[in-house]
Structure 1
């Protein structure tokens, strides 16, 4: 979708034998009775709008006119107009038709509710493609995390509980736990990259009202997977190094106040960069660009809308976190109640590594992640689409790709 479709202005076609621009035939006045009042022979010129005679087509719209012969409207995405945004079908333009909606979202700038609803609607309408991807990845990640907690963390808890472990043994145990946790985190990140890549393709088709199978999503995403891995690693390592450069010198000084101030400054900077490059992943997958070009595209799209994107992303994280807690916490409490010594054992580190609570907590986490990942990925993809509609008129290309006729007239 590189070339833009034409913009056709709708209007009524002239009747047969009538040339465009020709003046309409004026109706003849009826005969006046003899005692009727006499009117002056000089009448003011007729107005611009005249009623046609019965059976006669209305005159053609003036050249350069807009919808239905009214004066042309300003560009649809040029900013506020009289306090409202001028997108088709939006507030302030009651005379225009509603925006086309071939898929899960209308083809116009989106609001918060439409972005969240689009993500949920895609997951519901395309669950046969979405859930297998997220369930497989979430299951693999949670099984690995469960084994790490059971086999590695249990050794640390037992060693600390005994109290007679030498520093060398404790250091070795903690090193093994750190290595196992790092490996589990790496696999989790890799699974998240695969989910993001495939869900991006599914959501891009859902916007057009098209379905995408798991195999087709994999074929579409596979050429960009290595670049997506490079993008994710570059962003993660860059943020870690930046935070270390800010906090480490202050930590060496030893001033607690400076350390706290530096931590807040680093957190604010990392949050700003995170939102600035949030749209790099969908830009990489859908525009087929390079890693650095995708970072530049995200920066360009987010510019001027940072707070709006930050608010939508933060609200999405809060909603998904609440949903995860609703799913995981009851199963976790059941695990401690049935397989432990009651809810009071939740504070016992050794009881937390028992098989019963671990398995039930893992099941809850799998269910939660299978639902959370599509919503988070969907919101990011729809934010990317929304920003391109607002800035680049992407809705015209989407309408043409979806086969919407006469869109943009």
Structure 2
């Protein structure tokens, strides 16, 4: 591995039971017992070192507080301190450590992170406001005295108008998410090594991956739409008697979509950091998530809930202020017509959205990247590669089967 965030895949992962020249192996003791090798002449402090274990290996006498293994202290039952050159310790991570690492990245590299998120959020909000005010058709008015047939027709027109309005918003959000994901992935990967990075450096590293990331970002929602169509279309073709079939098919499609989204949740960091293609990154994500689907699902769901709560806490006060300043919009909510908010409301709520996005984007991207790093640490001993890249001397190895600590 080199010392840049573009981590190359180590090939056959230790989790597959293969040992080869590229798989780190434990070092033997200095007294000559075990296979012939040498200790490093310069050992790190006790807090960054753990004694090697394995058949035929007898470590030299450690200080009293050291344990006999990588993850467990023999005297106290606590894991020894791991090297921490950046925002996370180089060992399997717990849920709290992943969330803390995402927040720590925002604190440690706030200039670069906020430069990315604020710039993208401001441009996205300006585009959304201009599209909403000048390009989208006015929402249809609903007649409270309409007949049932007219009410149904008006409802269909209102739904069509909402879908038309949703298209540009989704496109703008897609582009904004694409840029922030590419740039923040590079920033977070550097923060793991404890190295600073400027916005220009992050852009230089992320730019070649943007076309591939665009393909991945488009492929996932298109695939989800196809699955949903397959689930509900048979019932829709049957007609009135097929409503129940459409509901069952829709629920089954949603289940499949959620399963696939979690299975491919680590594809974007694999694509950016390993310089992978779209299909290869999807396979890498599926391999890393295999056997840990529920853990990845739980952490992802917790992150989504956290992001939602933070967004609401920030957006609600700005929305209330916007209503107070632009009183005309409130009256429209209680009439048959759609709300016609003025510039004051759009600007004030836009400011709230920019602030919320500037905080939640780094958390969401940080959790995804650190979850990817954590899975590679557990399966492929990536912590050893990261330690060498960060310049941590004498960082030991663990047996392949003893890498599940950390929750």
Q: TM-score range by the shorter chain?
A: 0.7 to 0.9
- d(CA) in 2 for partners of 1:118, 1:200: 13
The reply to whether residue 311 of structure 1 matches residue 298 of structure 2 is yes
From 240, 244, 248, the equivalent of 1:257 is 244
- d(CA) in 2 for partners of 1:256, 1:175: 21
1:377-392 equivalence runs, <5 A: 377-392=365-380
Task: Tell whether the 8 Å contact from 1:5 to 1:400 is kept in structure 2 after alignment.
Answer: no
State the structure with more CA Rg.
1
From 52, 63, 68, the equivalent of 2:61 is 68
Task: Tell whether the 8 Å contact from 1:87 to 1:109 is kept in structure 2 after alignment.
Answer: no
- Unpaired segments ≥5 residues, structure 2: 2-9, 11-21, 33-54, 398-407
1:95-110 equivalence runs, <5 A: 97-110=80-93
Match of 2:402 in 1: none
Equivalent pairs counted in the alignment come to 347
In structure 2, the CA distance between the partners of 1:227 and 1:262, relative to structure 1 (3 Å rule), is: same
From 210, 217, 227, the equivalent of 2:212 is 227
From 269, 280, 299, the equivalent of 2:267 is 280
**What CA deviation, in whole Å up to 9, does each residue of 1:273-293 have, x standing for no partner?**
000001011001111111111
The reply to whether residue 188 of structure 1 matches residue 167 of structure 2 is no
Match of 1:369 in 2: 357
- SS of the residue corresponding to residue 198 of structure 1 reads helix
Report the RMSD for the aligned CA atoms in angstroms.
Answer: 3.6
- SS of the residue corresponding to residue 378 of structure 2 reads helix
Match of 2:258 in 1: 271
- SS of the residue corresponding to residue 68 of structure 1 reads coil
- If asked which structure has higher relative contact order (CA below 8 Å, sep 6+), I would say 2
In structure 2, the CA distance between the partners of 1:338 and 1:310, relative to structure 1 (3 Å rule), is: same
1:200-211 equivalence runs, <5 A: 200-211=185-196
In structure 2, the CA distance between the partners of 1:69 and 1:361, relative to structure 1 (3 Å rule), is: closer
**What CA deviation, in whole Å up to 9, does each residue of 1:52-86 have, x standing for no partner?**
xxxxxxxxxx972136379xx99x9xxxxxxxxx7
In structure 2, the CA distance between the partners of 1:10 and 1:341, relative to structure 1 (3 Å rule), is: farther
In structure 2, the CA distance between the partners of 1:391 and 1:90, relative to structure 1 (3 Å rule), is: farther
- d(CA) in 2 for partners of 1:325, 1:223: 35
- d(CA) in 1 for partners of 2:94, 2:75: 16
The reply to whether residue 143 of structure 1 matches residue 126 of structure 2 is yes
Task: Tell whether the 8 Å contact from 1:115 to 1:382 is kept in structure 2 after alignment.
Answer: yes
From 220, 231, 238, the equivalent of 2:223 is 238
Match of 2:19 in 1: none
TM-score, normalization by structure 1 = 0.75
- d(CA) in 2 for partners of 1:347, 1:284: 48
Q: Larger deviation: 287-296 or 138-147?
A: 138-147
- SS of the residue corresponding to residue 367 of structure 1 reads helix
- SS of the residue corresponding to residue 138 of structure 2 reads helix
- d(CA) in 2 for partners of 1:163, 1:127: 55
TM-score, normalization by structure 2 = 0.76
Q: Larger deviation: 295-304 or 184-193?
A: 184-193
